[in-house]
């Protein structure tokens, strides 16, 4: 092979490698590989915990569900429902609500 043929071959290989690099980068972003990497290594949990601690430190309050929402199971579990009822009875903001005996709220 002559030098010109080697040159053409190297240019074609460079062009082909550039196309494969573009495909690789686009698939990396389309398939959301960075997010998957964060989930597998635990970075996502660490970020969520850091955000939660920061919000808690700043005093950001999240909306609590009402008793009706809790009964429907949208916002809280049965255990949290009982705590909420006690808080509401103490504050007097909502009329007292008692479950019949033997019913655990689920």
- For tokens 């429902």, what's the residue? 81
Tell me whether residue 83 is in a domain.
yes
Tell me whether residue 92 is in a domain.
yes
> Residue 62 pLDDT more than 70?
no
> Residue 43 pLDDT more than 90?
no
Tell me whether residue 71 is in a domain.
yes
Provide the domain limits for residue 82: 63-101
Q: Which residues contact 82 (CB under 8 A, 6 or more apart)?
A: 105
Tell me whether residue 53 is in a domain.
no
Cβ–Cβ < 8 Å for 82, 105? yes
Q: What is the pLDDT of residue 36?
A: 85
Element (H, E) at 34: helix 33-41
Look up the pTM and report it: 0.40
User: What is the tally of structural domains in the chain?
Assistant: 1
Q: What is the pLDDT of residue 94?
A: 47
Average pLDDT for residues 56-65, to the nearest whole number? 66
Whole-number Å distance between alpha carbons of 19 and 16: 5
Tell me whether residue 29 is in a domain.
no
91 vs 41, more confident: 41
Q: The tokens of 73 are what?
A: 């199971």
CB atoms within 10 A of CB 98: 8
Residue 69: pLDDT band (50, 70, 90) is: low
């Amino acid at each position: 092979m002559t030098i010109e043929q080697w040159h053409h071959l190297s240019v074609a290989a460079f062009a082909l490698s550039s196309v494969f690099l573009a495909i690789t980068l686009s698939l990396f972003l389309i398939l959301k590989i960075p997010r998957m990497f964060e989930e597998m290594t635990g970075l996502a949990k660490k970020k969520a915990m850091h955000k939660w601690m920061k919000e808690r430190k700043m005093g950001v309050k999240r909306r609590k569900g009402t008793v009706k929402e809790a009964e429907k199971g949208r916002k809280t579990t049965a255990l949290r429902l009982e705590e909420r009822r006690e808080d509401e009875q103490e504050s007097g903001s909502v009329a007292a609500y008692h479950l019949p005996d033997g019913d655990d709220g689920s």
